[in-house]
A = this chain, B = another copy of it.
């Protein structure tokens, strides 16, 4: 294997100079630089990242922790993260927790071993204490999911507001019995959306019925199961607001299977605006989250953190938007 020493010998300079050519080229004269690069070329030299990393005590790698990479919601965010990471010479390590809290913990804990310079976590389900503790030691950014903790940099939409918009839309269409299929209730994001849902009902003088708030897990299957049960037990609502497009589509599938129609019999609103939302039939009215942008912002925040830049605003809230399609119809009051 060719090392800097070999290049230095051939170019007739010191290894320090060779190193400078690669890591701090401005400190080397033009002639020397050329000489070194030529020698490197000739020897097919490639810088050994392993050695650089040790010396610099940096990995140039960040880790992304998420519940499921095959969920397009998360993978879109990852794309945003990676694009910014790449431009800044960082690589992205994947930490798919498979929705397993132990795995989530393991990924986070091993960071002491310096296999990454920072983390972006798209999930925050383990105890807040631990998350806080880790974020005190490491460069960590939360995105999408978050915990109630002042000090941790976070990128997300305003979930209270998003849920409010979705619920309000249904109310404006004349619905009064609106089922809310929520995400896991120990996730603050879900709590916020429940808040938004309730706020909207209150605002429009509709009563809040705790039975109409049913906990799902964001998955297609849970939406399907919950809806099936509702219909089977004669608790069919006139409208459903689900915390993910997957659950919304699962619910629609169940509705159709029971011979009912969307939106004629039941109106459905989803959340996220993933790709299928526009392709599915009926196309899905939903609250869109700027996935790619969330990734971009999270990575930028992490770069600032890692560069020890001063963060002026560590809670970034991006815009969500109500996208009206066919799954709610235009039923009037």
Contacts and interface: CB of A to CB of B under 8 A. Distances in A.
A112 B46 contact: yes
Nearest to A58: B50
Contacts of A98: 79, 83
B46 A50 contact: no
Contacts of A27: none
Interface stretch (A5-13, A89-97, A182-190): A89-97
A114 B79 contact: no
28 contacts: A46-B112, A46-B113, A47-B113, A48-B113, A49-B113, A50-B54, A50-B59, A51-B54, A54-B54, A68-B79, A69-B78, A69-B79, A69-B82, A70-B72, A70-B78, A70-B79, A70-B275, A72-B75, A75-B75, A78-B94, A78-B96, A79-B98, A82-B94, A220-B279, A253-B279, A256-B281, A280-B280, A280-B281
Contacts of A93: 61, 91-94
A76 interface: yes
Contacts of A49: 113-115
Interface size classification for chain A: 35 or more
Interface string A94-134: 10101000000000000011110000000000000000000
- Copies of this chain in its oligomeric complex: 2
A53 interface: yes
A276 B281 CA distance: 12
Interface string A55-90: 001010100000011101001101100110000000
A96 B79 CA distance: 8
A249 interface: yes
A256 B280 CA distance: 12
Contact of A53 (B53, B72, B79, B96): B53
A70 to B, nearest CB: 4
A75 B69 contact: yes
A292 to B, nearest CB: 9
A94 B64 CA distance: 10
A54 B47 CA distance: 13
Contacts of A94: 78, 82, 91-94
A51 B53 CA distance: 8
A61 B115 CA distance: 10
B57 A50 contact: yes
Contacts of A275: 70, 220
Given A50-B57, A53-B53, A96-B79, A249 B279 contact: yes
Contacts of A54: 50-51, 53-54
Interface string A37-53: 00000000011111101
B79 A91 contact: no
Contacts of A113: 46-49
Nearest to A53: B50
Contacts of A50: 50, 53-54, 57, 59, 114
Contacts of A70: 72, 75-76, 78-79, 275
Most chain B CB neighbours (cut-off 10 Å) among A48, A53, A94, A253: A94
Contacts of A53: 50, 53-54
Contacts of A82: 69, 94, 96
